């Protein structure tokens, strides 16, 4: 008789694995820690992942929902082969850099004042905010504060005025 697996169980295992690995680090995390976080028996957890390395790989691979979770027939997930996690992380980072560059390119094509984002409506972007640019002092200096300058990217030019620091390229 085939075992019955709750539909959301593996996603809960992935989420708990990510939390536990983040909290304790890879070296200090044990399979039992993940099982405890889920209130599952350790043996039950092995029905979903073959061990600690497999749990870590599942957290990396499926934790951001960019890849579809495996089917019940594909469980337990196996431990990763050498270099597999590094390849997944490298591919994800390359995608993030591409997305960031595309965002900068698109922002540069918009006329000033046409871009509305949560960042522009945040308390930090408001002239009455208590926040200030680093080194500018108190709120009273906000209107005369000059935002920090960022190097120009040879590919896309400088980021448009008002672009939040978190959206600016760190690599030029």
Q: Tell me the per-residue pLDDT of 130-159, one tens digit each, with 9 for 90 and over.
A: 444 444 444 444 444 444 444 554 445 555
H or E stretch covering 161: none
Q: How far, in whole angstroms, is CA 125 from its chain's centroid?
A: 24
The structure tokens 């009273």 sit at: 140
The CATH number that domain 9-80 falls under is 1.10.10.60
Residues in CB range of 121: below 8 A, 6 or more apart: none
With b meaning 16 or more CB within 10 Å and e meaning fewer, what string describes 148-166? eeeeebeebebbbeebeee
pLDDT digits (tens, 9 = 90+) for 45-83: 999 999 999 999 999 999 988 889 999 889 999 999 999
User: Is the bond preceding residue 87 a cis peptide, omega within 30 degrees?
Assistant: no
Q: Could you tell me the residue ranges of all domains in the chain?
A: 9-80, 87-167
């Amino acid at each position: 008789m085939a075992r019955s697996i709750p539909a959301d169980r593996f996603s809960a295992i992935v989420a708990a694995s990510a939390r536990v690995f983040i909290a304790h680090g890879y070296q200090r995390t044990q399979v039992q820690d993940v099982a405890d976080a889920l209130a599952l028996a350790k043996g039950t957890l092995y029905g979903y992942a073959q061990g600690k390395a497999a749990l870590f790989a599942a957290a990396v691979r499926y934790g951001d929902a960019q890849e579809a979770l495996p089917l019940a027939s594909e469980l337990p997930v196996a431990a990763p082969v050498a270099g597999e996690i590094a390849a997944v992380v490298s591919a994800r980072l390359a995608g993030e850099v591409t997305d960031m560059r595309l965002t900068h390119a698109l922002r540069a094509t918009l006329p000033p004042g046409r871009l509305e984002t949560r960042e522009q409506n945040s308390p930090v972007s408001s002239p009455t905010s208590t926040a200030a640019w680093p080194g500018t002092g108190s709120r009273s200096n906000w209107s005369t504060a000059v935002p920090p300058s960022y190097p120009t990217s040879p590919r896309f030019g400088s980021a448009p005025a008002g672009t939040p620091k978190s959206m600016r390229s760190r690599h030029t």
